[in-house]
Amino acid sequence: MKPSLPSGTRDFGPEVVRKRNYIFTTIREVFELYGFQPLETPALENLETLMGKYGEEGDKLIFKILNNGLNDPKNIDKARSAFEQVMTGRNDKNLTERALRYDLTIPFARYVAMNHGQLSLPFKRYQIQPVWRADRPQKGRYREFYQCDADVVGSYSLLNEVELTSIYANVFKRLGVPVEIRINNRKVLAALAELCGGSDKMMDITIAIDKLDKIGIEKVKEELAQRGLQADQVAAIENYLAINGDNQQKFAAASDLLGHLEIAQKGLAELKYMLDMYEGSEVVIDFTLARGLNYYTGVIYEIKAIGVQMGSIGGGGRYDDLTGLFGVPNIPGVGISFGVDRIYDVMEELKLFPSTVRTGTQVLFFNLGERESLVAYRLVQDLRKHGVACELYHEPTKKFDKQFKYAEKKDIPYVVIIGSQELEAETCIIKDLRQGNQITLPQSGLVGFNFDTAVSEQIDK
Protein backbone atom coordinates (compact mmCIF):
# COMPACT_ATOMS: atom_id res chain seq x y z
CA MET A 1 0.00 0.00 0.00
CA LYS A 2 1.38 3.36 -1.04
CA PRO A 3 0.57 5.91 1.66
CA SER A 4 -0.61 9.43 0.91
CA LEU A 5 -1.92 12.56 2.62
CA PRO A 6 -5.53 13.77 2.48
CA SER A 7 -5.75 16.51 -0.12
CA GLY A 8 -5.42 19.98 1.33
CA THR A 9 -3.20 18.82 4.21
CA ARG A 10 0.56 19.03 4.65
CA ASP A 11 3.46 17.48 6.49
CA PHE A 12 5.91 20.00 7.84
CA GLY A 13 9.49 18.72 7.85
CA PRO A 14 12.21 20.04 10.16
CA GLU A 15 13.25 23.10 8.17
CA VAL A 16 9.68 24.26 7.62
CA VAL A 17 8.69 23.68 11.25
CA ARG A 18 11.68 25.77 12.36
CA LYS A 19 10.75 28.63 10.06
CA ARG A 20 7.10 28.49 11.05
CA ASN A 21 8.07 28.44 14.72
CA TYR A 22 10.20 31.50 14.13
CA ILE A 23 7.06 33.33 12.97
CA PHE A 24 4.90 31.94 15.79
CA THR A 25 7.50 32.74 18.46
CA THR A 26 7.93 36.28 17.21
CA ILE A 27 4.18 36.90 17.25
CA ARG A 28 3.80 35.24 20.65
CA GLU A 29 6.57 37.34 22.18
CA VAL A 30 4.92 40.53 21.00
CA PHE A 31 1.49 39.44 22.22
CA GLU A 32 3.00 38.75 25.65
CA LEU A 33 4.80 42.09 25.65
CA TYR A 34 1.40 43.76 25.32
CA GLY A 35 -0.18 41.77 28.14
CA PHE A 36 -2.10 39.24 26.06
CA GLN A 37 -2.54 35.79 27.57
CA PRO A 38 -2.55 32.41 25.84
CA LEU A 39 -5.69 30.34 25.41
CA GLU A 40 -6.07 26.90 23.85
CA THR A 41 -9.40 25.31 23.02
CA PRO A 42 -10.02 21.75 21.84
CA ALA A 43 -10.07 20.82 18.16
CA LEU A 44 -13.40 19.11 18.79
CA GLU A 45 -16.43 21.30 19.48
CA ASN A 46 -20.05 20.33 19.85
CA LEU A 47 -21.73 20.59 16.48
CA GLU A 48 -24.32 23.04 17.80
CA THR A 49 -21.56 25.39 18.99
CA LEU A 50 -20.39 25.81 15.40
CA MET A 51 -23.45 25.38 13.18
CA GLY A 52 -25.18 28.52 12.04
CA LYS A 53 -22.26 30.79 12.95
CA TYR A 54 -20.51 31.01 9.59
CA GLY A 55 -23.43 31.43 7.20
CA GLU A 56 -24.95 28.77 4.97
CA GLU A 57 -21.75 28.28 2.99
CA GLY A 58 -19.68 28.02 6.15
CA ASP A 59 -21.93 25.34 7.62
CA LYS A 60 -21.21 23.15 4.61
CA LEU A 61 -17.47 23.51 5.08
CA ILE A 62 -17.43 22.35 8.69
CA PHE A 63 -15.83 18.92 9.11
CA LYS A 64 -18.18 16.75 11.14
CA ILE A 65 -17.12 13.74 13.19
CA LEU A 66 -18.94 10.49 12.66
CA ASN A 67 -20.21 9.16 15.97
CA ASN A 68 -18.26 6.10 17.02
CA GLY A 69 -19.82 2.69 16.96
CA LEU A 70 -22.18 3.47 14.09
CA ASN A 71 -20.75 0.93 11.71
CA ASP A 72 -20.81 -1.69 14.40
CA PRO A 73 -23.42 -4.28 13.30
CA LYS A 74 -24.91 -4.07 16.80
CA ASN A 75 -25.94 -0.48 16.19
CA ILE A 76 -27.67 -1.09 12.93
CA ASP A 77 -31.07 0.20 14.01
CA LYS A 78 -29.66 3.36 15.48
CA ALA A 79 -27.61 3.87 12.37
CA ARG A 80 -30.53 3.30 10.03
CA SER A 81 -32.65 5.87 11.81
CA ALA A 82 -29.79 8.39 11.92
CA PHE A 83 -29.16 7.97 8.23
CA GLU A 84 -32.83 8.38 7.36
CA GLN A 85 -32.84 11.68 9.23
CA VAL A 86 -29.83 12.85 7.34
CA MET A 87 -31.29 11.78 4.02
CA THR A 88 -34.23 14.05 4.70
CA GLY A 89 -31.89 16.95 5.27
CA ARG A 90 -31.64 16.89 9.04
CA ASN A 91 -28.55 16.55 11.19
CA ASP A 92 -29.11 13.69 13.52
CA LYS A 93 -27.23 13.49 16.80
CA ASN A 94 -27.02 9.76 16.36
CA LEU A 95 -24.85 10.32 13.31
CA THR A 96 -22.73 13.29 14.34
CA GLU A 97 -22.53 15.47 17.44
CA ARG A 98 -19.04 16.90 17.13
CA ALA A 99 -17.13 18.92 14.58
CA LEU A 100 -13.67 20.31 14.00
CA ARG A 101 -12.88 23.91 14.95
CA TYR A 102 -13.55 26.13 11.92
CA ASP A 103 -11.99 29.33 13.26
CA LEU A 104 -10.68 30.62 16.61
CA THR A 105 -13.32 33.28 17.17
CA ILE A 106 -16.38 31.13 17.90
CA PRO A 107 -14.47 28.81 20.28
CA PHE A 108 -13.16 31.93 22.01
CA ALA A 109 -16.70 33.29 22.29
CA ARG A 110 -17.83 29.93 23.66
CA TYR A 111 -14.98 30.04 26.20
CA VAL A 112 -15.79 33.58 27.31
CA ALA A 113 -19.50 32.73 27.61
CA MET A 114 -18.67 29.67 29.73
CA ASN A 115 -16.15 31.47 31.95
CA HIS A 116 -17.15 35.13 32.05
CA GLY A 117 -17.84 34.91 35.78
CA GLN A 118 -14.19 34.08 36.48
CA LEU A 119 -12.54 36.28 33.86
CA SER A 120 -11.35 39.76 34.77
CA LEU A 121 -12.45 42.05 31.98
CA PRO A 122 -11.09 43.33 29.75
CA PHE A 123 -9.73 39.92 28.85
CA LYS A 124 -6.86 39.99 26.38
CA ARG A 125 -6.23 36.60 24.87
CA TYR A 126 -4.17 35.24 22.03
CA GLN A 127 -4.62 31.88 20.40
CA ILE A 128 -2.44 30.08 17.86
CA GLN A 129 -4.00 26.83 16.71
CA PRO A 130 -5.00 24.96 13.56
CA VAL A 131 -8.49 25.12 12.07
CA TRP A 132 -10.16 22.89 9.49
CA ARG A 133 -12.31 23.76 6.51
CA ALA A 134 -13.66 21.50 3.78
CA ASP A 135 -12.82 24.07 1.11
CA ARG A 136 -11.78 22.92 -2.33
CA PRO A 137 -7.97 22.72 -1.99
CA GLN A 138 -6.02 25.01 -4.29
CA LYS A 139 -2.71 26.86 -4.34
CA GLY A 140 -2.30 28.59 -1.00
CA ARG A 141 -5.60 27.28 0.34
CA TYR A 142 -5.53 24.32 2.69
CA ARG A 143 -8.05 22.24 4.57
CA GLU A 144 -5.94 22.38 7.72
CA PHE A 145 -4.13 25.60 8.56
CA TYR A 146 -3.11 27.70 11.52
CA GLN A 147 -4.86 30.82 12.67
CA CYS A 148 -3.18 33.27 14.96
CA ASP A 149 -5.51 35.71 16.72
CA ALA A 150 -5.41 38.34 19.45
CA ASP A 151 -8.58 39.85 20.88
CA VAL A 152 -9.52 42.19 23.71
CA VAL A 153 -13.03 41.66 24.99
CA GLY A 154 -15.02 43.60 27.54
CA SER A 155 -13.80 47.08 26.65
CA TYR A 156 -15.08 49.84 24.39
CA SER A 157 -11.87 51.85 24.78
CA LEU A 158 -10.13 52.91 21.57
CA LEU A 159 -6.84 52.40 23.33
CA ASN A 160 -7.25 48.74 22.40
CA GLU A 161 -7.34 49.64 18.71
CA VAL A 162 -4.16 51.63 19.20
CA GLU A 163 -2.48 48.73 20.97
CA LEU A 164 -3.44 46.27 18.23
CA THR A 165 -2.07 48.64 15.59
CA SER A 166 1.17 48.80 17.54
CA ILE A 167 1.26 44.99 17.79
CA TYR A 168 0.92 44.66 14.02
CA ALA A 169 3.71 47.18 13.48
CA ASN A 170 5.96 45.57 16.08
CA VAL A 171 5.53 42.02 14.77
CA PHE A 172 6.23 42.90 11.16
CA LYS A 173 9.18 45.06 12.15
CA ARG A 174 10.69 42.11 14.03
CA LEU A 175 10.04 39.79 11.10
CA GLY A 176 11.53 42.34 8.70
CA VAL A 177 8.40 42.35 6.53
CA PRO A 178 7.64 45.84 5.17
CA VAL A 179 3.90 46.45 5.49
CA GLU A 180 1.10 48.91 5.17
CA ILE A 181 -1.39 48.79 8.03
CA ARG A 182 -4.60 49.86 6.32
CA ILE A 183 -7.39 51.05 8.56
CA ASN A 184 -10.95 52.18 8.03
CA ASN A 185 -14.04 52.43 10.19
CA ARG A 186 -17.34 50.71 9.55
CA LYS A 187 -18.99 53.85 10.95
CA VAL A 188 -17.72 55.75 7.93
CA LEU A 189 -19.19 53.05 5.70
CA ALA A 190 -22.43 53.28 7.67
CA ALA A 191 -22.46 57.01 6.91
CA LEU A 192 -21.98 56.21 3.24
CA ALA A 193 -24.96 53.85 3.43
CA GLU A 194 -26.97 56.60 5.09
CA LEU A 195 -26.00 58.95 2.30
CA CYS A 196 -27.27 56.32 -0.15
CA GLY A 197 -30.68 56.02 1.37
CA GLY A 198 -30.41 54.11 4.60
CA SER A 199 -28.69 51.52 6.74
CA ASP A 200 -30.39 48.68 4.89
CA LYS A 201 -27.93 49.43 2.06
CA MET A 202 -24.91 48.80 4.32
CA MET A 203 -24.57 45.11 3.45
CA ASP A 204 -24.93 45.68 -0.31
CA ILE A 205 -22.36 48.45 -0.25
CA THR A 206 -19.75 46.61 1.80
CA ILE A 207 -20.08 43.42 -0.24
CA ALA A 208 -19.60 45.34 -3.48
CA ILE A 209 -16.75 47.54 -2.20
CA ASP A 210 -14.99 44.50 -0.80
CA LYS A 211 -14.48 43.31 -4.38
CA LEU A 212 -12.89 46.54 -5.62
CA ASP A 213 -9.34 45.15 -5.61
CA LYS A 214 -10.38 42.09 -7.57
CA ILE A 215 -12.87 43.39 -10.11
CA GLY A 216 -12.19 47.13 -10.45
CA ILE A 217 -14.45 50.18 -10.12
CA GLU A 218 -16.58 49.62 -13.23
CA LYS A 219 -17.69 46.17 -12.12
CA VAL A 220 -18.30 47.45 -8.60
CA LYS A 221 -20.58 50.12 -10.04
CA GLU A 222 -22.42 47.46 -12.07
CA GLU A 223 -22.88 45.35 -8.98
CA LEU A 224 -24.14 48.31 -6.97
CA ALA A 225 -26.68 49.07 -9.68
CA GLN A 226 -27.75 45.43 -9.74
CA ARG A 227 -28.18 45.58 -6.00
CA GLY A 228 -30.73 48.34 -6.51
CA LEU A 229 -28.74 51.51 -5.90
CA GLN A 230 -29.75 54.59 -7.91
CA ALA A 231 -27.38 56.32 -10.32
CA ASP A 232 -26.78 59.28 -7.98
CA GLN A 233 -26.06 56.88 -5.12
CA VAL A 234 -23.60 54.94 -7.23
CA ALA A 235 -21.97 58.23 -8.17
CA ALA A 236 -21.63 59.18 -4.49
CA ILE A 237 -19.98 55.84 -3.79
CA GLU A 238 -17.65 56.34 -6.74
CA ASN A 239 -16.64 59.73 -5.31
CA TYR A 240 -16.02 58.11 -1.96
CA LEU A 241 -13.91 55.33 -3.45
CA ALA A 242 -11.87 57.89 -5.39
CA ILE A 243 -10.64 59.57 -2.20
CA ASN A 244 -6.84 59.55 -2.18
CA GLY A 245 -3.72 61.41 -1.10
CA ASP A 246 -2.00 61.23 2.27
CA ASN A 247 -3.92 60.57 5.47
CA GLN A 248 -4.65 64.26 6.05
CA GLN A 249 -5.96 64.79 2.53
CA LYS A 250 -8.13 61.68 2.82
CA PHE A 251 -9.59 62.93 6.08
CA ALA A 252 -10.42 66.26 4.49
CA ALA A 253 -12.08 64.65 1.47
CA ALA A 254 -14.11 62.24 3.59
CA SER A 255 -15.19 65.12 5.81
CA ASP A 256 -16.38 67.06 2.78
CA LEU A 257 -18.38 64.08 1.54
CA LEU A 258 -19.79 62.68 4.78
CA GLY A 259 -18.96 65.15 7.57
CA HIS A 260 -22.54 66.36 7.87
CA LEU A 261 -23.54 62.92 9.17
CA GLU A 262 -23.04 62.28 12.88
CA ILE A 263 -21.90 58.69 12.44
CA ALA A 264 -19.23 59.78 9.95
CA GLN A 265 -17.92 62.35 12.44
CA LYS A 266 -17.67 59.66 15.06
CA GLY A 267 -15.89 57.22 12.74
CA LEU A 268 -13.43 59.81 11.52
CA ALA A 269 -12.70 61.00 15.07
CA GLU A 270 -11.88 57.44 16.08
CA LEU A 271 -9.46 57.04 13.18
CA LYS A 272 -7.90 60.38 14.03
CA TYR A 273 -7.40 59.36 17.66
CA MET A 274 -5.60 56.22 16.49
CA LEU A 275 -3.27 58.17 14.22
CA ASP A 276 -2.54 60.63 17.02
CA MET A 277 -1.70 57.89 19.50
CA TYR A 278 0.21 55.59 17.18
CA GLU A 279 2.69 57.62 15.20
CA GLY A 280 4.18 55.01 12.83
CA SER A 281 4.17 55.96 9.16
CA GLU A 282 3.02 52.47 8.16
CA VAL A 283 -0.57 53.24 9.17
CA VAL A 284 -2.59 54.27 6.13
CA ILE A 285 -6.23 55.32 6.06
CA ASP A 286 -7.94 53.34 3.30
CA PHE A 287 -11.59 54.28 2.89
CA THR A 288 -12.05 51.56 0.26
CA LEU A 289 -11.41 48.92 2.92
CA ALA A 290 -14.70 47.19 3.80
CA ARG A 291 -14.01 43.65 5.08
CA GLY A 292 -16.87 41.34 4.23
CA LEU A 293 -17.72 40.03 7.68
CA ASN A 294 -20.80 41.84 8.80
CA TYR A 295 -20.16 41.59 12.51
CA TYR A 296 -17.61 44.42 12.41
CA THR A 297 -18.95 47.70 13.76
CA GLY A 298 -15.98 50.03 14.25
CA VAL A 299 -12.35 50.23 13.22
CA ILE A 300 -11.25 47.58 10.69
CA TYR A 301 -7.73 46.54 9.73
CA GLU A 302 -6.04 44.94 6.79
CA ILE A 303 -2.33 44.31 6.33
CA LYS A 304 -0.59 44.37 2.96
CA ALA A 305 3.02 43.37 2.46
CA ILE A 306 4.93 45.93 0.40
CA GLY A 307 6.92 44.73 -2.59
CA VAL A 308 5.26 41.36 -3.18
CA GLN A 309 2.14 40.21 -4.96
CA MET A 310 0.10 38.74 -2.16
CA GLY A 311 -3.36 39.19 -0.70
CA SER A 312 -3.77 40.57 2.80
CA ILE A 313 -1.50 38.97 5.42
CA GLY A 314 -3.61 40.06 8.38
CA GLY A 315 -6.91 41.64 9.26
CA GLY A 316 -9.39 42.35 11.99
CA GLY A 317 -11.69 44.87 13.55
CA ARG A 318 -14.09 45.86 16.29
CA TYR A 319 -17.31 43.98 16.93
CA ASP A 320 -20.20 44.78 19.26
CA ASP A 321 -21.27 41.54 20.71
CA LEU A 322 -19.05 38.48 20.84
CA THR A 323 -20.97 36.17 23.11
CA GLY A 324 -24.62 37.10 22.57
CA LEU A 325 -25.02 33.95 20.49
CA PHE A 326 -24.15 31.98 23.61
CA GLY A 327 -26.52 33.78 25.93
CA VAL A 328 -24.10 36.36 27.39
CA PRO A 329 -24.90 39.76 25.84
CA ASN A 330 -23.01 43.07 25.81
CA ILE A 331 -19.44 41.86 25.58
CA PRO A 332 -17.83 43.98 22.87
CA GLY A 333 -14.36 43.44 21.55
CA VAL A 334 -11.71 44.10 18.98
CA GLY A 335 -9.35 41.61 17.44
CA ILE A 336 -6.67 41.02 14.86
CA SER A 337 -5.45 37.98 13.00
CA PHE A 338 -2.17 37.03 11.32
CA GLY A 339 -2.19 34.97 8.09
CA VAL A 340 0.74 32.76 8.92
CA ASP A 341 0.86 30.77 5.66
CA ARG A 342 1.01 33.95 3.62
CA ILE A 343 3.51 35.60 5.95
CA TYR A 344 5.65 32.50 5.47
CA ASP A 345 5.43 32.81 1.69
CA VAL A 346 6.27 36.52 1.80
CA MET A 347 9.30 35.84 3.99
CA GLU A 348 10.50 33.10 1.66
CA GLU A 349 10.08 35.35 -1.36
CA LEU A 350 11.92 38.25 0.27
CA LYS A 351 14.50 35.87 1.83
CA LEU A 352 13.80 37.20 5.32
CA PHE A 353 14.38 34.09 7.43
CA PRO A 354 17.64 34.50 9.39
CA SER A 355 20.10 31.71 8.55
CA THR A 356 20.24 30.71 12.22
CA VAL A 357 16.58 29.63 12.08
CA ARG A 358 17.58 26.54 10.12
CA THR A 359 20.28 25.43 12.53
CA GLY A 360 19.63 22.39 14.62
CA THR A 361 22.73 20.40 15.58
CA GLN A 362 25.87 22.57 15.85
CA VAL A 363 28.50 19.85 16.04
CA LEU A 364 28.76 16.30 14.76
CA PHE A 365 31.39 14.12 16.45
CA PHE A 366 32.77 11.45 14.15
CA ASN A 367 32.56 7.90 15.41
CA LEU A 368 35.78 6.21 14.37
CA GLY A 369 35.82 3.13 16.59
CA GLU A 370 34.72 1.73 19.94
CA ARG A 371 37.47 3.36 21.99
CA GLU A 372 37.37 6.65 20.08
CA SER A 373 33.61 6.87 20.45
CA LEU A 374 33.76 6.43 24.21
CA VAL A 375 35.92 9.54 24.53
CA ALA A 376 33.82 11.37 21.96
CA TYR A 377 30.63 10.52 23.80
CA ARG A 378 31.91 12.01 27.06
CA LEU A 379 32.82 15.20 25.23
CA VAL A 380 29.40 15.29 23.54
CA GLN A 381 27.73 15.10 26.93
CA ASP A 382 30.01 17.87 28.26
CA LEU A 383 29.15 20.18 25.40
CA ARG A 384 25.44 19.55 25.83
CA LYS A 385 25.77 20.58 29.47
CA HIS A 386 27.05 23.88 28.11
CA GLY A 387 24.08 24.25 25.80
CA VAL A 388 25.73 23.17 22.53
CA ALA A 389 23.47 20.92 20.43
CA CYS A 390 25.62 18.03 19.26
CA GLU A 391 25.58 14.45 18.13
CA LEU A 392 27.90 11.47 17.98
CA TYR A 393 27.59 9.62 14.66
CA HIS A 394 25.38 6.68 15.50
CA GLU A 395 27.81 3.83 14.82
CA PRO A 396 31.54 3.26 14.57
CA THR A 397 32.82 3.35 11.00
CA LYS A 398 36.07 4.29 9.30
CA LYS A 399 34.09 5.83 6.44
CA PHE A 400 34.70 9.56 6.69
CA ASP A 401 32.60 10.34 3.63
CA LYS A 402 29.49 8.78 5.16
CA GLN A 403 29.87 10.92 8.26
CA PHE A 404 30.62 14.08 6.30
CA LYS A 405 27.56 13.44 4.19
CA TYR A 406 25.39 13.06 7.28
CA ALA A 407 26.65 16.43 8.59
CA GLU A 408 26.10 18.05 5.23
CA LYS A 409 22.56 16.75 4.77
CA LYS A 410 21.63 17.96 8.25
CA ASP A 411 23.33 21.31 7.68
CA ILE A 412 25.62 20.81 10.68
CA PRO A 413 28.32 23.52 10.58
CA TYR A 414 31.05 21.76 12.62
CA VAL A 415 32.51 18.28 12.87
CA VAL A 416 34.87 17.10 15.61
CA ILE A 417 37.24 14.26 14.68
CA ILE A 418 38.92 11.99 17.21
CA GLY A 419 40.87 9.23 15.49
CA SER A 420 43.52 6.97 16.98
CA GLN A 421 46.19 9.71 16.86
CA GLU A 422 43.98 12.24 18.58
CA LEU A 423 42.95 9.59 21.08
CA GLU A 424 46.61 9.09 21.93
CA ALA A 425 47.44 12.80 22.09
CA GLU A 426 44.16 13.72 23.87
CA THR A 427 43.40 16.21 21.17
CA CYS A 428 40.63 16.66 18.65
CA ILE A 429 40.25 18.24 15.24
CA ILE A 430 37.49 20.81 14.81
CA LYS A 431 36.52 21.23 11.19
CA ASP A 432 34.42 24.19 10.02
CA LEU A 433 32.37 22.80 7.15
CA ARG A 434 31.20 26.16 5.87
CA GLN A 435 34.69 27.60 5.60
CA GLY A 436 36.51 24.34 4.95
CA ASN A 437 39.32 25.00 7.44
CA GLN A 438 40.18 23.30 10.72
CA ILE A 439 41.97 23.60 14.03
CA THR A 440 43.46 21.06 16.45
CA LEU A 441 42.73 21.55 20.13
CA PRO A 442 43.34 19.63 23.34
CA GLN A 443 40.13 17.79 24.23
CA SER A 444 39.97 19.79 27.43
CA GLY A 445 39.69 22.99 25.38
CA LEU A 446 36.58 21.93 23.54
CA VAL A 447 34.08 23.28 26.05
CA GLY A 448 35.58 26.76 25.72
CA PHE A 449 35.36 26.73 21.92
CA ASN A 450 32.77 29.06 20.44
CA PHE A 451 30.78 27.07 17.91
CA ASP A 452 28.86 30.18 16.86
CA THR A 453 31.94 31.71 15.29
CA ALA A 454 34.03 30.58 12.35
CA VAL A 455 37.16 28.52 13.03
CA SER A 456 39.33 31.07 11.22
CA GLU A 457 38.39 33.82 13.66
CA GLN A 458 39.30 31.63 16.58
CA ILE A 459 42.65 30.74 15.01
CA ASP A 460 43.48 34.43 14.67
CA LYS A 461 42.94 35.00 18.37
Annotated binding site for L-histidine: 103-105, 133, 147, 151, 291, 295-296
| Euclidean distance between the first and the last CA atom of the chain, given in angstroms as a whole number | 58
Residue from 55, 105, 122, 274 binding a second copy (CB under 8 A): 122
Give the C-alpha separation, 163 to 173, whole Å.
Answer: 15
219 binds a second copy (CB under 8 A): no
Residue 66 interacts with a second copy (CB under 8 A): yes or no: yes
Distance between CA 132 and CA 102 in Å, rounded? 5
> Binding to a second copy by residue 255, rule CB under 8 A?
no
Q: Does 115 sit near a second copy (CB under 8 A)?
A: yes
| Interacting residues with a second copy between 179 and 218 (CB under 8 A) | none
Q: Which is nearer to a second copy, 100 or 179 (CB)?
A: 100
Smallest separation (angstroms) from a second copy to the CB of 144: 5
Q: Report if residue 117 touches a second copy, rule: CB under 8 A.
A: no
Q: Under 8 Å CB-to-CB from 285, ≥6 apart: which residues?
A: 182, 183, 184, 247, 250, 251, 271, 275
19 touching a second copy, by CB under 8 A: no
What's the rounded Cα separation, in Å, for the pair 20 and 64?
A: 28
Shortest separation between residue 423's beta carbon and a second copy, angstroms:
17
Q: Any contact of residue 433 with a second copy (CB under 8 A)?
A: no
Between residue 266 and residue 325, which ones bind a second copy under the rule CB under 8 A?
Answer: 277, 325
How far is the C-alpha of 306 from the C-alpha of 136, rounded, in Å?
29
SS3 state at 36: coil
Question: Judged by CB under 8 A, does residue 113 bind a second copy?
Answer: yes
Asked if 262 touches a second copy (CB under 8 A), the answer is: no
The alpha carbon of residue 391 and the mean position of all alpha carbons in its chain are separated, in whole angstroms, by 33
Residue 225 burial (CB count, 10 A): 14
Q: How far is CA 401 from CA 373, 383, 398, in A?
A: 17, 24, 9
103 is an interface residue for a second copy by CB under 8 A: no
Is 451 a binding residue for a second copy by CB under 8 A? The answer is no
Which parts are annotated binding residues? 103-105, 133, 147, 151, 291, 295-296
User: Please, which of residues 376-395 interact with a second copy by CB under 8 A?
Assistant: 377, 381, 384, 387-392, 394-395
- Residue 8's identity, in one-letter code, is G
Binding mask 156-175 for a second copy (x = CB under 8 A): xx-xx-x---x---x-----
Torsion of CA 403, 409, 415, 421, to 10 degrees: 10
DSSP E strand stretches across 133-206: 144-153, 179-185
Q: Which is nearer to a second copy, 124 or 304 (CB)?
A: 124
The interface with a second copy within residues 138-157 (CB under 8 A) comprises 143-144, 152, 155-157
Among 57, 68, 356, 424, binds a second copy (CB under 8 A): 68
The reply on whether position 330 binds a second copy by CB under 8 A is no
Q: Is 176 in the site for a second copy (CB under 8 A)?
A: no
Distances (CA, A) of 369 to 210, 290, 366, 430: 68, 68, 9, 18
246 touching a second copy, by CB under 8 A: no
439 counts as binding a second copy under rule CB under 8 A: no
Least separation in angstroms between residue 345's CB and a second copy is 17
Instruction: Select 32 or 256, whichever has its Cβ closest to a second copy.
Output: 32
Q: Residue 97 or residue 321: which is nearer to a second copy going by CB?
A: 97
Q: Amino acid letter at 176?
A: G
Q: Which of 58, 70, 211, 382 binds a second copy (CB under 8 A)?
A: 70
Q: Give 55 or 130: the residue with its C-beta nearer to a second copy.
A: 130
Count of chain residues binding a second copy (CB under 8 A):
106
Residue 13 touching a second copy (CB under 8 A) = yes
Angstrom CA distances, 166 to 31, 152, 313, stand at: 10, 14, 16
**Residue 356 touching a second copy (CB under 8 A):** no
Binding segment (CB under 8 A) for a second copy, from list 402-410, 417-425, 433-441, 443-451: 402-410
Per CB under 8 A, 105 contacts a second copy: no
Q: Which stretch binds a second copy (CB under 8 A): 5-13, 236-244, 260-268, 424-432?
A: 5-13
Q: CB-wise, 153 or 220, nearer to a second copy?
A: 153
Which one, 279 or 460, has the nearer CB to a second copy?
279
Full DSSP string of 73-142? GGGHHHHHHHHHHHHTT---TTT--EEE---SHHHHHHHHHHHTTTSPSSEEEEEEEEEE--PPPBTTB-
Question: Length of the chain, please?
Answer: 461
**Nearest CA to 52 among 276, 325, 238?**
325
CB within 8 Å of 295: residues ≥ 6 apart: 319, 320, 321
Q: Tell me the CB-side half-sphere exposure of residue 287, using CA atoms within 13 A.
A: 30
Q: Is residue 33 part of the contact set for a second copy (CB under 8 A)?
A: yes
Burial tier of 101 (Cβ tally within 10 Å: 0-12, 13-18, 19+): buried
Contact 179, 187 (CB under 8 A): no
Indicate which single residue of 102, 240, 301, 326 sits in contact with a second copy (rule: CB under 8 A): 326
